[in-house]
Structure 1
């Protein structure tokens, strides 16, 4: 423990010199860890914990950070997909050992995936969307041979979605089955023990985690792909942008994440530092409640769509947060249509409101997170809505207050963020933002943001269901593009504004660092050149 204490001291002691340097064999990261509440891969939610899990554990496959549609081998050396798309078969790398020394086999892989469904916590959502349940998973995800994993799909879907989930979701991390079972209590599948510990085979082992303080990872000398170049990774809990700026300017940390746009911009002229932005799959949006008047009227929704200052918001508010995007399918995918070119057009909006029976506008509310950039977008929207006579009061709140109201369909307008997240597939975002198979209140399809907004299009629903099982790639592409055209025509209740970006500032001496769009940023090959 002495070496751990020394590492903490090195990472936390303020530097006396103006241009201090961190140890050459350690990577010191400043970031908010407010949302790191558990290290259990079945329960760990949010992007902040993903890169931790990605370095402590291994996955079957990985996605190339430069080309998310390229699936690379990891624990699975190779795999095959049945002609009908209903079965995937993985050949597991032999000779891999967990940090405990236990040998990793196909049984560990199958058990880890089964555990996610059996616990039925937040990370089970993606698997349940494919038809897996706690009752059927043991029959569908199996290890028929010591180094063969077989996944049979309970219902037709695009098998690429399964691969993408295996590569990006922390639910796909492979756990040391024997070690976890030794610490299981009262049929909890080791959940209590894993909350603050790790049982992986990744490039780094967990030395210590103190919630909202510091997390230390040490190089795994026996890693199957060779030892990492760095001896240790230290993550320091830091929430204040100005503190992050000061620390990286002084050389006390190597990477700063979660800084304000103003501080990032101020550091861009420093020759010792580099700014890197990573595009995420989620979008910032304005959403209306199409279940109730006045937003049930297509013309009113069209008017609101014409009262968003897309250019102004993206030019003045979104730098380092996001880039202009107005489609429900993310940027960078072959299926994504060019931007529709929506602009602020007050005259058009006034004419639409008059046709809908609201020539004098109406009163409404905007629910929004009380933080940047959400509150700034809401303020801009309030101003532009007023130009057409829509008088909107802003109701700032916490995530539970804002998205809780959305889940209950008790809102008028919301400024939010959502989408498919990490999977580079149109279905991921369309299912999240648009799909709504049952618009009744009692259906309670709260995982579908389309349901939350009360917008339902039978045509779009049918095409989404058709596209996800379409085997012909060209035909599938055409269907996804048709969905976007219909969404424009029917004026869906979610208006994408900007696609999310994460921007980090790092020191120039770091090599091989590449932030991953799926947040699975790995440090195995990172080193410092001085």
Structure 2
């Protein structure tokens, strides 16, 4: 049987048959390029002397999965793997786990692990490695940016070397999907013990490439893992290069210095499509761009202020003028297009009404706010934030733009919102399923967790109750109305400033293959092969 989509998993006996259904998936060899043995060996010998270069806009803040969760996942996915993984069809498929099953009471998930897998340091991957990875995520000295999503895990028990059991509270139908997130990729316990807080600069996983070096603001490189358990890449070396300026990313694609470039500037797409030797893809995205506000103190603690500031921004003009049509307006607190996400009546662009609402809230003479930005995280980010600055000035809001490195941006956005009133942070949120997004963005248990990236402090008890109800409801038909009600309340609260839903824009050299780009925008290398 083939791997299941998320909706199908929910429908089939409350996910209890997932192990049997997905076991067949572990025998598949995706993305393989079939050749005769002699020809394949000759090709491998040549191709593994090559270097594959991937380019995006963001310098990593860390190479530890639980900490480094920004748009530089190309290098993370090259070095680390999780128990399960997403494929390009939105399916969860086996990775370091070969199967999994759910207990009758819905609280315990038991994963059967792949035997014989080695970390890059030569140690064996076992159930103890899984427990150590989760324990580290909960270590308060580790700034795990998505820790809030994993608070439902109450226990991790190794049954034997290749069987591990998770106990959750509440029961959760989406648990296998949660384990596909980058934060849950498995790390070497031995390397963590050796490097401690420096593990993020000395990463050790099980992936097809192993860490070589990190030259800050220049590149991170990894070399082929000769002991990799799966089909091996067809290049010897993988390099990730952060280039914040969109024009610079275009240059390295056109000159052949890069094999794939993500987050290409929308204005350059027509010309790049006419460039010989290249291909450009624009695909729907599960990523939204927003300004995450500090909601615990004025001015952003006031719902009418947040509504007014959303109403003061002309999303359609930004999409047309800056994004050149490669984005969609946001009419939902969820991720448009994924199961369980609902659209609502937009807070339409109305600067006069926005000005009036701000005056009614006590800001007739204006207000001062600060927006933090790391340039290059998505194509057009700086221009969009500058446009927002202009729109807000039109309603009496003076906005200061403060640019900073991504590591500093995360440290700021994960600090106590009480200490930073009147500030917002320009961030991206990519979510492949609805509960993951709603919980981390809007449940007060998650928005107030120290070190989490989305620490806005937003809190609505009714939203908390509804999210708790939907995430423990296994019947999808009963779950949908709960999801809709929760999102309807959230949408009226406007907890953050909603900018737009992105479109994935990436380009590659002709003949480049052996990878996928997920709807979240994440680049996942498999049997990488360079073009001619």
TM-score, normalising length: structure 2: 0.77
Q: Does 1:224 align with 2:238?
A: no
Matching residue of 1:86:
107
Shift of 1:280: 5.3
1:78-128 Cα offsets, whole Å, 9 max, x none, are 100123221110111223233444443323332333333346412274267
Matching residue of 1:479:
482
Alignment partners' CA distance in 2, 1:142 and 1:391: 56
Matching residue of 1:462:
465
Question: Closer, same or farther in 2 for the Cα pair 1:445/1:475, shift >3 Å?
Answer: farther
Question: Closer, same or farther in 2 for the Cα pair 1:292/1:53, shift >3 Å?
Answer: closer
Matching residue of 1:112:
133
Q: How does 1:246-261 map to 2 (within 5 A)?
A: 246-261=251-266
- Compare 393-402 and 247-256 and name the one that shifted more: 393-402
Decide which of 40, 44, 62 is 2:85's aligned counterpart: 62
Matching residue of 1:523:
525
Decide which of 321, 326, 331 is 1:326's aligned counterpart: 331
Decide which of 160, 170, 187 is 1:156's aligned counterpart: 170
Contact kept in structure 1, 2:57 and 2:243, CA below 8 Å = yes
Matching residue of 2:383:
376
Alignment partners' CA distance in 2, 1:214 and 1:294: 40
Contact kept in structure 2, 1:141 and 1:150, CA below 8 Å = yes
Shift of 1:24: 5.5
Matching residue of 2:441:
433
Alignment partners' CA distance in 2, 1:438 and 1:118: 16
Matching residue of 2:179:
166
- Compare 458-467 and 30-39 and name the one that shifted more: 30-39
Shift of 1:278: 5.8
How many residues are treated as equivalent by the alignment? 477
Unaligned runs of 5+ in 2: 1-45
Matching residue of 1:16:
none
Alignment partners' CA distance in 2, 1:514 and 1:191: 32
Matching residue of 2:7:
none
Question: Closer, same or farther in 2 for the Cα pair 1:144/1:374, shift >3 Å?
Answer: same
Shift of 1:321: 7.3
Alignment partners' CA distance in 2, 1:208 and 1:128: 31
Alignment partners' CA distance in 2, 1:102 and 1:122: 26
Contact kept in structure 1, 2:148 and 2:452, CA below 8 Å = no
Alignment partners' CA distance in 1, 2:63 and 2:300: 42
Question: Closer, same or farther in 2 for the Cα pair 1:165/1:311, shift >3 Å?
Answer: same
Question: In structure 2, the residue corresponding to 1:217 is in which secondary structure?
Answer: strand
Question: Closer, same or farther in 2 for the Cα pair 1:519/1:222, shift >3 Å?
Answer: farther
Contact kept in structure 1, 2:288 and 2:502, CA below 8 Å = yes
Contact kept in structure 2, 1:58 and 1:200, CA below 8 Å = yes
Matching residue of 1:12:
none
Alignment partners' CA distance in 2, 1:274 and 1:382: 35
Matching residue of 1:15:
none
Unaligned runs of 5+ in 1: 1-22
